[in-house]
Amino acid sequence: MVGSLPSTGNIRARILFTYGCYLVIVLTLWAYVRINPVYLVPVLAVLAATGYYSYRMNVRLLRTHPAFDATGVAGRKGIALTDLTPEGLVRVRGEVWKARSTVPLQKGEHVKVLSPPEGLVLSVGPDGVDEQPDTP
């Protein structure tokens, strides 16, 4: 699914699968190549430490909030990046959004967001005032 983040369980499963692959490789090397166990223990310790670190970083990433604020977009002004006939791209508050308009709008035309976003699509209309778009 586009735009969805993996769950914590999914990340856990990926890490355990990776550990299993590493373990098979290391044990195969130990069994058939006869690597000294003195070297095997530090290798497993490094693998465990890097795996734990990557797991913690992934969990921290999953708990972060989105970088954009979709609630404060309604009523803002922006600019059309593509022709909106009826859908296209607009820039509002420095962010590029998919947009839908009931009237055709040309590229470079000033737009105003009419309502809060429906998912990740903005409903826009022409902006009657000739001023700079509201971009940071």
| pLDDT tens sequence across 89-133 | 999 888 888 999 989 999 999 999 998 888 889 999 998 744 444
68 contacts: CB under 8 Å, gap ≥ 6: 95
Sequence-distant (6+) residues with CB within 8 A of 11 are: 55, 58, 59, 62
Q: pTM value?
A: 0.46
Cβ distance 36 to 29 under 8 Å? no
Q: What are the tens digits of pLDDT across the range 111-123?
A: 999 988 888 899 9
